Structure 1
Amino acid sequence: MTIVVRPYEASDWDDISRIHDAARWDELRGAGLVDAYLSLAETYENEGLFDDDVWVAELDRRVAGFLAGSADEITWAYVDPALYRRGVGRALVEHVLARATGPVELEVLEGNSARAFYEAVGFVWQSTTTGKLAGNESFRATGHTLVWRPASDAG
């Protein structure tokens, strides 16, 4: 089992769409927001998927997940549900954290089981807010901001 993380290429679109669309159901189900579902094709432009770096993880040469973000924030992270618990998400997050020079933040919906994963890789709770759901603003959601700090960052 080999996981390789590499930059997104336009030819990855079908794979990341399939992954997002399957995994998004799990994310929204945990938050009690399945009625808020939108496909990647319906939301990627409005939510700025390609505003930052996009990384793809391949498991045995098959696209298995993707992550988008900047030097200080993870904005998108999805793994193929058929490949959960195989190290794909960890490889993507560790790839980004290895490049971080300061704190990295992300938001996770209330009820999303991914929160436990992020805490296991070193993220800690910073705040909780309730407001419009990013990507489908007609719904209200509660989200938690988690932050990771490099060992050298005492702040």
Structure 2
Amino acid sequence: MLIRAYDDSDWPALCRIHDAARLDELRDSAGLDAFLTLEQTAEGEGLFDGQLWVAETDAGVTGFVALDGDEITWLYVDPAHYRRGIGRALLRHALAHTGDHAEVTVLDGNPPALALYRSEGFVVQETRTGPLVGNERFTATGHIMRRQPG
């Protein structure tokens, strides 16, 4: 697996990955009716505000991670490639580019994401319920997690 900087030619793959994985993320949190495509949300949610990397395997681009300062703002893996270490590799790559502390928000109802972040030293610091970022017509509960090196 190669983790490299995003290139504009990766856009179709990012859309495909996000749109498939986002359904899994929303299913047990805000609900599937809250789904919006990456094309609809990328700019408003700041996908390109910081650093953006993709994971490339023999199957092509299979995941991506975005980092804005010390906040991991996006991390998605193609559902056809779940549980193969891609998400962990992307997370570790992003963490190598953070300062002393890293932060992420994980939707309640997404146990695989919570488990991944916990296994990498993240701890829930706060839980908030409010408008779903990117589709504020819906309510969601998010766990703000922080990691301190150690």
TM range (shorter): over 0.9
* SS in structure 2 at match of 1:137: strand
Task: Please report how far the alpha carbon of residue 22 of structure 1 lies from its aligned counterpart in structure 2 after TM superposition.
Answer: 0.1
* 1:82-133 deviation line (CA, Å, top 9, x unaligned): 0001010011000111222210000011111211111112111110001110
8 A Cα contact 1:75 1:106, kept in partner = yes
Determine which structure has the larger strand proportion and give its number: 2
Unaligned 5+ segments in structure 2 are none
**Residue pairs, 1:2-17, within 5 angstroms:** 3-17=1-15
Query: Any unmatched runs of 5+ in structure 1?
Result: none
CA contact (8 A) 2:52 2:67 kept: yes
* Letter matched to residue 111 of structure 1: G
Q: Deviations over 1:116-153 (max 9, x none)?
A: 111112111110001110000011111000111112xx
Matching residue's letter, 1:120? S
How large is the RMSD of aligned CA atoms in angstroms?
Answer: 1.1
Residue 67 of structure 1 aligns to which amino acid in structure 2? V
Map of 1:139 onto structure 2: 138
Kept in 1: contact 2:30–2:132 (CA 8 A)? no
TM-score normalised over the length of structure 1: 0.92
Runs of 4+ in 1 over 3 A off after TM superposition: none
TM norm structure 2: 0.95
How far did residue 70 of structure 1 move?
2.2
Determine if contact 1:17/1:41 at 8 Å carries over to the other structure: yes
Aligned 1:41-56 pairs, distance under 5 A:
41-56=39-54
Kindly provide the amino acid, as one letter, of the partner of residue 24 in structure 1.
R
Secondary structure in 1 matching 2:141: strand
| CA shift digits 1:21-73 (9 cap, x unpaired) | 00000000021411100000011111111011111011226101001112310
Determine what percentage of the aligned residue pairs are the same residue. Answer: 55
Moved more, 25-34 or 127-136: 25-34
Contact in 2 for aligned 1:59/1:88 (Cα 8 Å): no
Give the alignment of 1:1-155 within 5 angstroms: 3-60=1-58, 62-113=60-111, 114-151=113-150
CA contact (8 A) 1:56 1:67 kept: yes
Matched residue count: 149
Q: Counterpart of 1:140 in structure 2: which amino acid? A: T
8 Å contact 1:100–1:150 — kept in the other structure? no
Structure-2 separation of matches of 1:71 and 1:5: 19
